[in-house]
Amino acid sequence: MREALRFDGKPLSATLSREADRWFISIPVAIDRPEPVCESQATVGVDLGVSTAITLSTGEKIDSPKPLKKHLQRLRRRSRSHSRKQKGSANRRKSARKLAKFHARIAHIRQDWTHKTTTELPRRFAVIGIEDLNVRGMVANEKLARSINDIGFYEFRRQLEYKAARSGSTVVVVNRWFPSSKTCSICGVKAEKMPLSVRDWTCAHCGAEHDRDVNAALNIQREALATVSWAGSHACGEEGTGRSRKTPAKPASLKQEITHGLFVHG
Ligand SMILES: [Zn+2]
Protein backbone atom coordinates (compact mmCIF):
# COMPACT_ATOMS: atom_id res chain seq x y z
CA MET A 1 0.00 0.00 0.00
CA ARG A 2 1.21 3.46 -0.84
CA GLU A 3 -0.68 6.58 0.06
CA ALA A 4 0.13 10.18 0.91
CA LEU A 5 -0.52 11.22 4.50
CA ARG A 6 -3.87 12.98 4.58
CA PHE A 7 -2.89 15.57 7.19
CA ASP A 8 -0.09 18.07 7.47
CA GLY A 9 1.68 17.49 10.70
CA LYS A 10 3.93 15.21 12.63
CA PRO A 11 3.07 11.51 12.48
CA LEU A 12 3.28 10.12 15.99
CA SER A 13 3.09 6.37 15.58
CA ALA A 14 1.56 3.66 13.48
CA THR A 15 -0.70 0.85 14.59
CA LEU A 16 -1.47 -2.14 12.43
CA SER A 17 -4.61 -4.10 12.97
CA ARG A 18 -6.46 -6.83 11.20
CA GLU A 19 -10.14 -7.41 10.82
CA ALA A 20 -11.23 -10.58 9.10
CA ASP A 21 -9.24 -10.55 5.85
CA ARG A 22 -8.44 -6.85 5.82
CA TRP A 23 -5.54 -4.95 7.27
CA PHE A 24 -5.65 -1.44 8.67
CA ILE A 25 -3.00 1.04 9.59
CA SER A 26 -3.78 3.88 11.95
CA ILE A 27 -1.46 6.87 12.08
CA PRO A 28 -2.15 9.63 14.63
CA VAL A 29 -0.91 12.99 13.36
CA ALA A 30 -0.34 16.05 15.55
CA ILE A 31 -1.91 19.00 13.77
CA ASP A 32 -2.66 22.61 14.55
CA ARG A 33 -6.36 23.09 14.65
CA PRO A 34 -7.85 26.58 14.55
CA GLU A 35 -10.12 27.53 17.47
CA PRO A 36 -13.47 26.02 16.59
CA VAL A 37 -16.10 28.56 15.65
CA CYS A 38 -19.63 27.33 15.57
CA GLU A 39 -21.56 28.97 12.75
CA SER A 40 -24.97 27.84 13.81
CA GLN A 41 -26.98 29.15 16.76
CA ALA A 42 -29.53 26.39 16.61
CA THR A 43 -30.36 24.02 19.44
CA VAL A 44 -31.59 20.50 19.02
CA GLY A 45 -32.85 17.76 21.28
CA VAL A 46 -32.03 14.21 20.26
CA ASP A 47 -34.17 11.32 21.37
CA LEU A 48 -32.39 8.01 21.08
CA GLY A 49 -35.13 5.52 20.56
CA VAL A 50 -35.76 1.94 19.76
CA SER A 51 -38.35 2.04 17.01
CA THR A 52 -36.68 4.91 15.15
CA ALA A 53 -32.95 5.19 15.63
CA ILE A 54 -32.92 8.87 16.51
CA THR A 55 -35.54 11.59 16.51
CA LEU A 56 -34.68 15.28 16.47
CA SER A 57 -36.74 18.03 18.04
CA THR A 58 -37.10 19.43 14.52
CA GLY A 59 -39.33 16.44 13.82
CA GLU A 60 -36.77 14.61 11.69
CA LYS A 61 -36.38 10.89 12.21
CA ILE A 62 -33.11 9.35 11.23
CA ASP A 63 -33.26 5.62 10.80
CA SER A 64 -30.24 3.50 11.42
CA PRO A 65 -29.53 0.73 8.94
CA LYS A 66 -30.06 -1.98 11.59
CA PRO A 67 -27.73 -4.30 9.77
CA LEU A 68 -27.76 -6.87 12.49
CA LYS A 69 -31.48 -7.51 12.37
CA LYS A 70 -31.40 -7.88 8.63
CA HIS A 71 -28.47 -10.25 8.62
CA LEU A 72 -29.27 -12.11 11.79
CA GLN A 73 -30.76 -15.13 10.08
CA ARG A 74 -27.85 -15.50 7.75
CA LEU A 75 -25.48 -15.05 10.64
CA ARG A 76 -27.20 -17.79 12.62
CA ARG A 77 -27.10 -20.15 9.68
CA ARG A 78 -23.43 -19.53 9.10
CA SER A 79 -22.55 -19.90 12.77
CA ARG A 80 -24.38 -23.20 12.90
CA SER A 81 -22.76 -24.53 9.80
CA HIS A 82 -19.39 -23.37 11.11
CA SER A 83 -19.79 -25.19 14.41
CA ARG A 84 -20.58 -28.41 12.56
CA LYS A 85 -17.26 -28.39 10.74
CA GLN A 86 -14.61 -30.63 12.12
CA LYS A 87 -12.09 -28.93 14.40
CA GLY A 88 -8.70 -28.40 12.85
CA SER A 89 -9.98 -29.03 9.34
CA ALA A 90 -9.34 -26.81 6.35
CA ASN A 91 -13.09 -26.45 5.94
CA ARG A 92 -13.45 -25.07 9.43
CA ARG A 93 -10.68 -22.55 8.87
CA LYS A 94 -12.36 -21.47 5.68
CA SER A 95 -15.74 -21.03 7.31
CA ALA A 96 -14.15 -19.16 10.23
CA ARG A 97 -12.74 -16.66 7.75
CA LYS A 98 -16.12 -16.27 6.10
CA LEU A 99 -17.84 -15.75 9.42
CA ALA A 100 -15.31 -13.13 10.50
CA LYS A 101 -15.81 -11.28 7.22
CA PHE A 102 -19.53 -11.28 7.75
CA HIS A 103 -19.16 -9.86 11.27
CA ALA A 104 -16.82 -7.18 9.98
CA ARG A 105 -19.28 -6.15 7.28
CA ILE A 106 -22.08 -5.73 9.78
CA ALA A 107 -19.82 -3.65 11.99
CA HIS A 108 -18.81 -1.44 9.07
CA ILE A 109 -22.39 -0.68 8.03
CA ARG A 110 -23.10 0.39 11.57
CA GLN A 111 -19.95 2.47 11.91
CA ASP A 112 -20.63 4.27 8.67
CA TRP A 113 -24.05 5.38 9.86
CA THR A 114 -22.82 6.45 13.29
CA HIS A 115 -19.98 8.49 11.79
CA LYS A 116 -22.20 10.25 9.28
CA THR A 117 -24.87 11.12 11.82
CA THR A 118 -22.50 12.31 14.54
CA THR A 119 -20.69 14.46 11.97
CA GLU A 120 -23.86 16.06 10.68
CA LEU A 121 -25.37 17.06 14.03
CA PRO A 122 -22.54 19.33 15.28
CA ARG A 123 -22.42 20.94 11.84
CA ARG A 124 -26.04 21.95 12.06
CA PHE A 125 -26.49 22.66 15.75
CA ALA A 126 -24.61 24.66 18.37
CA VAL A 127 -26.24 22.95 21.33
CA ILE A 128 -27.13 19.29 21.18
CA GLY A 129 -29.11 17.76 24.01
CA ILE A 130 -29.05 14.01 24.47
CA GLU A 131 -30.29 11.76 27.22
CA ASP A 132 -28.04 9.93 29.60
CA LEU A 133 -29.68 6.61 28.96
CA ASN A 134 -29.25 3.78 31.34
CA VAL A 135 -27.98 1.61 28.54
CA ARG A 136 -26.76 -1.17 30.78
CA GLY A 137 -30.14 -1.44 32.41
CA MET A 138 -31.91 -1.39 29.09
CA VAL A 139 -29.60 -3.94 27.51
CA ALA A 140 -30.36 -6.25 30.42
CA ASN A 141 -33.90 -6.31 29.05
CA GLU A 142 -33.70 -9.11 26.49
CA LYS A 143 -36.30 -7.72 24.12
CA LEU A 144 -34.61 -4.36 23.78
CA ALA A 145 -31.07 -5.62 23.93
CA ARG A 146 -30.51 -6.51 20.33
CA SER A 147 -31.88 -3.37 18.74
CA ILE A 148 -30.07 -1.17 21.22
CA ASN A 149 -26.77 -2.86 20.60
CA ASP A 150 -27.54 -2.54 16.95
CA ILE A 151 -27.84 1.20 17.18
CA GLY A 152 -24.81 1.48 19.42
CA PHE A 153 -25.71 4.21 21.87
CA TYR A 154 -22.37 4.31 23.65
CA GLU A 155 -20.47 4.72 20.47
CA PHE A 156 -22.94 7.31 19.20
CA ARG A 157 -22.49 9.45 22.27
CA ARG A 158 -18.71 9.07 22.31
CA GLN A 159 -18.40 10.21 18.71
CA LEU A 160 -20.91 13.00 19.11
CA GLU A 161 -18.99 14.42 22.06
CA TYR A 162 -15.60 14.52 20.44
CA LYS A 163 -16.91 15.82 17.14
CA ALA A 164 -18.90 18.55 18.87
CA ALA A 165 -15.81 19.63 20.80
CA ARG A 166 -13.95 19.80 17.51
CA SER A 167 -16.51 22.04 15.85
CA GLY A 168 -17.30 24.28 18.82
CA SER A 169 -20.71 22.85 19.60
CA THR A 170 -21.84 21.79 23.04
CA VAL A 171 -23.31 18.44 23.93
CA VAL A 172 -25.54 18.62 26.97
CA VAL A 173 -26.26 15.32 28.61
CA VAL A 174 -29.68 15.49 30.18
CA ASN A 175 -30.24 13.66 33.45
CA ARG A 176 -31.34 10.07 33.08
CA TRP A 177 -34.33 10.57 35.36
CA PHE A 178 -35.65 13.54 33.47
CA PRO A 179 -39.11 12.36 32.30
CA SER A 180 -38.70 13.37 28.66
CA SER A 181 -41.26 10.91 27.30
CA LYS A 182 -43.97 11.53 29.87
CA THR A 183 -43.91 15.32 29.91
CA CYS A 184 -46.06 17.32 27.52
CA SER A 185 -43.72 19.62 25.60
CA ILE A 186 -46.51 22.18 25.19
CA CYS A 187 -47.87 22.65 28.71
CA GLY A 188 -45.31 20.79 30.80
CA VAL A 189 -47.80 18.55 32.57
CA LYS A 190 -46.57 15.03 33.24
CA ALA A 191 -48.60 12.04 32.08
CA GLU A 192 -49.08 9.20 34.54
CA LYS A 193 -47.72 6.30 32.57
CA MET A 194 -46.05 5.98 29.21
CA PRO A 195 -45.28 2.38 28.28
CA LEU A 196 -42.88 1.89 25.38
CA SER A 197 -45.71 0.59 23.20
CA VAL A 198 -47.42 4.01 23.15
CA ARG A 199 -46.18 5.83 20.05
CA ASP A 200 -48.74 8.65 19.90
CA TRP A 201 -50.60 10.25 22.74
CA THR A 202 -52.79 13.21 23.60
CA CYS A 203 -52.09 15.41 26.60
CA ALA A 204 -54.95 15.11 29.08
CA HIS A 205 -54.33 18.64 30.29
CA CYS A 206 -53.94 20.79 27.15
CA GLY A 207 -55.12 18.36 24.47
CA ALA A 208 -51.91 18.57 22.43
CA GLU A 209 -51.28 15.57 20.22
CA HIS A 210 -47.82 14.15 20.43
CA ASP A 211 -45.59 11.81 18.54
CA ARG A 212 -43.83 10.12 21.43
CA ASP A 213 -40.28 10.57 20.15
CA VAL A 214 -40.64 14.11 18.80
CA ASN A 215 -42.22 15.19 22.10
CA ALA A 216 -39.34 13.63 24.03
CA ALA A 217 -36.81 15.33 21.74
CA LEU A 218 -38.52 18.70 22.30
CA ASN A 219 -38.28 18.24 26.07
CA ILE A 220 -34.63 17.28 25.80
CA GLN A 221 -34.00 20.37 23.66
CA ARG A 222 -35.62 22.64 26.24
CA GLU A 223 -33.74 21.00 29.10
CA ALA A 224 -30.43 21.30 27.23
CA LEU A 225 -31.06 24.96 26.50
CA ALA A 226 -31.94 25.63 30.13
CA THR A 227 -28.73 23.92 31.27
CA VAL A 228 -26.61 25.97 28.91
CA SER A 229 -28.29 29.26 29.86
CA TRP A 230 -27.96 28.41 33.51
CA ALA A 231 -24.26 27.83 33.04
CA GLY A 232 -24.17 31.44 31.92
CA SER A 233 -22.91 31.06 28.42
CA HIS A 234 -24.21 31.23 24.94
CA ALA A 235 -23.41 28.39 22.69
CA CYS A 236 -21.26 30.25 20.22
CA GLY A 237 -18.71 32.94 19.97
CA GLU A 238 -17.81 33.37 23.62
CA GLU A 239 -14.94 32.08 25.64
CA GLY A 240 -15.55 28.45 26.37
CA THR A 241 -16.04 28.97 30.06
CA GLY A 242 -19.60 27.93 30.62
CA ARG A 243 -19.62 24.74 28.64
CA SER A 244 -21.45 22.37 30.82
CA ARG A 245 -20.37 18.95 29.85
CA LYS A 246 -20.82 16.14 32.24
CA THR A 247 -17.94 14.34 30.68
CA PRO A 248 -15.06 16.50 29.58
CA ALA A 249 -14.43 15.99 25.91
CA LYS A 250 -11.14 14.27 25.42
CA PRO A 251 -9.08 15.02 22.37
CA ALA A 252 -9.62 12.08 20.12
CA SER A 253 -6.69 10.56 18.38
CA LEU A 254 -7.09 9.14 14.94
CA LYS A 255 -6.81 5.72 16.45
CA GLN A 256 -9.81 6.30 18.66
CA GLU A 257 -11.83 7.36 15.67
CA ILE A 258 -11.42 4.05 14.00
CA THR A 259 -11.81 1.83 17.01
CA HIS A 260 -13.82 -1.17 15.97
CA GLY A 261 -15.72 -4.05 17.37
CA LEU A 262 -17.46 -2.55 20.36
CA PHE A 263 -20.46 -4.78 20.15
CA VAL A 264 -20.81 -8.48 20.47
CA HIS A 265 -23.20 -10.15 18.12
CA GLY A 266 -25.48 -13.10 18.43
ZN1 LIG B 1 -50.13 19.40 27.53
User: 199-213: per-residue pLDDT in tens?
Assistant: 899 999 999 999 999
> Residue 172 — φ and ψ, nearest 5°?
-110, 120
Spatial strand order in the sheet of 127-131: 61-62, 54-56, 43-48, 127-131, 170-174
Cα end-to-end span (Å), the chain: 34
Instruction: Give 39 or 164, the one with higher predicted confidence.
Output: 164
Single out the catalytic residue among 150, 161, 213, 223. Answer: 213
| Angle, helix 142-151 to helix 153-167, in steps of 10 degrees | 30
In a domain, 5, yes or no: no
**Spatial separation of the C-alpha atoms in residues 158 and 245, rounded to whole Å:** 13
- Is 213 an annotated catalytic residue? yes
What letter represents residue 235's amino acid? A
The Å distance, Cα 125 to ligand 1 centre, comes to 27
Q: What does the angle CA 145 – CA 150 – CA 155 come to, to the nearest 5 degrees? A: 105
* 3-state secondary structure (DSSP) of residue 170: strand
In a domain, 263, yes or no: no
For 104, the domain range is 10-254
In a domain, 65, yes or no: yes
In the chain, pLDDT over 70 holds for what percent of residues?
A: 76
In a domain, 230, yes or no: yes
The Å distance, Cα 194 to ligand 1 centre, comes to 14
pLDDT at 13: 93
Across the chain, what does the average pLDDT equal?
Answer: 79
**Spatial separation of the C-alpha atoms in residues 16 and 143, rounded to whole Å:** 37
Examine the pLDDT at 160 and tell me if it is beyond 90. yes
Beta strands in 69-225 (DSSP E): 127-131, 170-174, 200-202, 209-211
In a domain, 261, yes or no: no
pLDDT (tens digit per residue) in 59-106: 999 887 776 677 778 888 888 888 899 888 999 999 888 888 888 888
Single out the catalytic residue among 19, 47, 132, 142. Answer: 47
Q: What are the Cα distances from residue 85, in Å, to 21, 71, 72, 93, 127?
A: 20, 21, 20, 9, 53
pLDDT at 139: 58
The Å distance, Cα 89 to ligand 1 centre, comes to 65
Bridge partners, 131 (sequence order): 174
Examine the pLDDT at 182 and tell me if it is beyond 60. yes
The Å distance, Cα 113 to ligand 1 centre, comes to 34
The Å distance, Cα 51 to ligand 1 centre, comes to 23
The Å distance, Cα 64 to ligand 1 centre, comes to 30
Total structural domains within the chain: 1
In a domain, 259, yes or no: no
User: What is the average per-residue pLDDT within 145-162?
Assistant: 76
Single out the catalytic residue among 19, 35, 63, 131. Answer: 131
The Å distance, Cα 202 to ligand 1 centre, comes to 8
| Angle, helix 153-167 to helix 90-124, in steps of 10 degrees | 40
Q: What does the angle CA 4 – CA 108 – CA 150 come to, to the nearest 5 degrees? A: 150
Residues 225, 231, 234, 239: what is their CA dihedral angle, to the nearest 10 degrees?
A: -150
The Å distance, Cα 2 to ligand 1 centre, comes to 61
**Spatial separation of the C-alpha atoms in residues 194 and 238, rounded to whole Å:** 40
In a domain, 205, yes or no: yes
In a domain, 24, yes or no: yes
Closest CA to 51 of 121, 147, 181: 147
